[in-house]
Chains A and B, each alone.
Chain A
Amino acid sequence: MKSYKKGPHPRARGPDIRGAGNIMHRFANPNRFMRLSQRAVPWFAALTVVLLAAGLYLALVASPADYQQGETVRIMYVHVPSAWMAMFCYSGMAAAAAVGMIWKHPLADLAAKSTAPIGACFTFLALLTGSLWGKPMWGAWWVWDARLTSVLVLFFLYLGYIALNNAFDDPARGAKASSILVLVGFVNVPIIKFSVDWWNTLHQPASIARVEGPAIHASMLWPLLVMAAGFTTYYLWVLLVRMRGEIVAGKIRALRLRQVHGL
């Protein structure tokens, strides 16, 4: 491994020095994360179960049907939180990637990597439930609505990130390259959103009824907020589990490297 670097960053020690022993050193700080996350995981799990159970009850049983959309409005309670989480996860990935690049914090790269599949799942769900909502509302499974289209592009951005992250033999390379990609993508998301909105108003089909009402009633806001909170704790739960998995995988790699080098 070559390591030419002009003017090394003062904090650029750990992750840049490669070699069998140093990979262990790199996980010195994550050991504390392992202890903390072990304690936090059951709490997030319990919170998720309680919030999602309550949210599902509120969404399916306790909330009224919409006077315009009837019972299909219930799809909103999974569709809208999924779409929120899709954007939240992408912003979280960009923030983690920035922290990983600037401060070389090893946990930040793992957080970004572990967020990607969760965000991709939420994006997929937002698209799918949007399609299932669109059929009774708009009469078509797919409409080139500005928001649906933007979410579709977001889905491709997630897929690109995951593909790039896994495309290298050296996971450190994958983390660095995909951090740059997610930051470039993050700058582009508002531009894409703006151009898709603009494109959509240019080609607006006349038959689309706007889905959102003027102001959402409290009886519908509560299920929505509880479901969104449940999705958030679910995200944190799975994020911690996946990050733990990544750290263990790193330790396995380090041990194997040590065996290969005969240390």
Chain B
Amino acid sequence: MLNPLLILIRRDLRLAVRQGMDSMMALVFFVLAVVLFPFGVGPEANVLARIAAGVIWVAALLASMLALERLFQADYEDGSLELLVLAPVPMEVVVAAKIAAHWLTTGLPLMAAAPLLAVLLGMEAGGFAGLLAALALGTPSLSLIGAVGAALILGSRRGGVLLSLLILPLYIPVLIFGVAAVDAAAGGYALQPHLLVLTGLLLAALALAPWAAAAALRQAVE
């Protein structure tokens, strides 16, 4: 059970490294989107510090969606998805491996870049720990929820725009509690309740998303 999971994750990571571009693009988009905000709202330091958490989270949300469209697309087009459906490994494990690889190639780089952007926006020093903890718990949920959308749009017309319409509304709870955690940490309030809610969201997504995505993949190759 665990072995095929690791093999699949390694396969996807190797593919991602070989192609290289997708996760780099997501990262560059993330940085660029955040950097645009000072141009939009002005360079006033306290305004930027006030909105830093929201800006970083919204940008992270959009950036993690960029690579999602390709999550199953390549395997769907070259037919390996059909082989994976027929393989003795449960489809849910395949999906979990894909999601893990997606998070490792996008969520993790976003987490690494986020403190730098927080510095640029002048976030309160206390907020950094909250930001990292919230992103660590929130971005896997984004990958999980997004995988369901990525599986649903396989073989459809206008996939990319459709994907954002499907999953952005479902991202709202993660966004709300992710930002609240950072704001609480920056304002010196208790961080733990927000992190617990984010953990709850993550566990719920972990329990449901692989099944929904696997069902979507099965009907896509049927």
User: Are A and B direct contacts in the complex by CB distance below 8 Å?
Assistant: yes
Is A164's CB under 8 angstroms from B156's CB? yes
Q: Are A180 and B212 in contact (CB under 8 A)?
A: yes
Pick the contact of B155 from A168, A187, A198 — CB < 8 Å? A168
Once bound together, how far apart are the Cα atoms of A5 and B82, in whole Å?
Answer: 11
Inter-chain CA distance A181–B163, complex, in Å, is 11
CB pair B169–A167 under 8 Å, yes or no, is no
B216 at the binding interface (Cβ < 8 Å): yes
Q: Is B158 an interface residue (CB 8 A)?
A: yes
Q: Is A185 an interface residue (CB 8 A)?
A: yes
Using an 8 Å CB-CB cutoff, how does the interface string of A175-200 with B read, 1 for contact, 0 for none?
01110110111011001101110110
Q: A177 to B153, alpha carbons, bound, how many Å?
A: 8
The reply to whether A160 and B165 form a contact with Cβ atoms under 8 Å apart is yes
Q: Quick check: is B208 within 8 A (CB to CB) of the other chain?
A: yes
Within 8 Å by CB of B219, from A173, A183, A192, lies: A173
Q: Mark A6-22, 1 if CB is under 8 A from B, else 0.
A: 10000000001000000
B148 CB–A CB distance under 8 Å: yes
- Who on chain B is nearest to A179 by CB? B219
- Residue-wise, chain A 143-185 has the 8 Å CB interface mask toward B (1 for contact) of 0000000000100110110011001110001001110110111
From the candidates A156, A192, A194, A198, name the one contacting B165 in the complex (CB within 8 A): A156
Interface string of B150-173 (1 = CB under 8 A from A): 001101111000100110111011
Query: Is the C-beta of B136 less than 8 angstroms from some C-beta in chain A?
Result: no
B200-221 contacts to A, CB under 8 A, are: 201, 204, 208, 212, 215-216, 219-221
- Known contacts: A164-B156, A177-B219, A180-B219. The answer to whether A156 contacts B162 by CB under 8 A is no
A67 at the interface (CB under 8 A from B): no
A residues 192-227 near B (Cβ < 8 Å) are 192, 194-196, 198-199, 202
Q: Of all chain A residues, which has the CB nearest B174? A: A195
- 8 Å CB contact of A184 from B156, B170, B177, B219: B170
Q: Is the CB of A153 within 8 A of B155?
A: no
Which residues of A come within 8 Å of B, CB atoms?
A: 2-6, 16, 153, 156-157, 159-160, 163-164, 167-169, 173, 176-178, 180-181, 183-185, 187-188, 191-192, 194-196, 198-199, 202
Residue pairs across A and B with Cβ atoms less than 8 A apart, 14 shown, are: A2-B222, A163-B162, A164-B152, A164-B162, A173-B219, A177-B219, A180-B212, A185-B170, A187-B208, A191-B173, A195-B176, A196-B176, A198-B176, A202-B180
Contacts A2-B221, A185-B169, A188-B170 aside, 16 further interface pairs with beta carbons under 8 A come to A4-B82, A4-B222, A160-B165, A164-B153, A173-B155, A177-B216, A180-B152, A180-B212, A180-B219, A183-B212, A191-B173, A191-B201, A192-B173, A195-B173, A196-B172, A196-B176
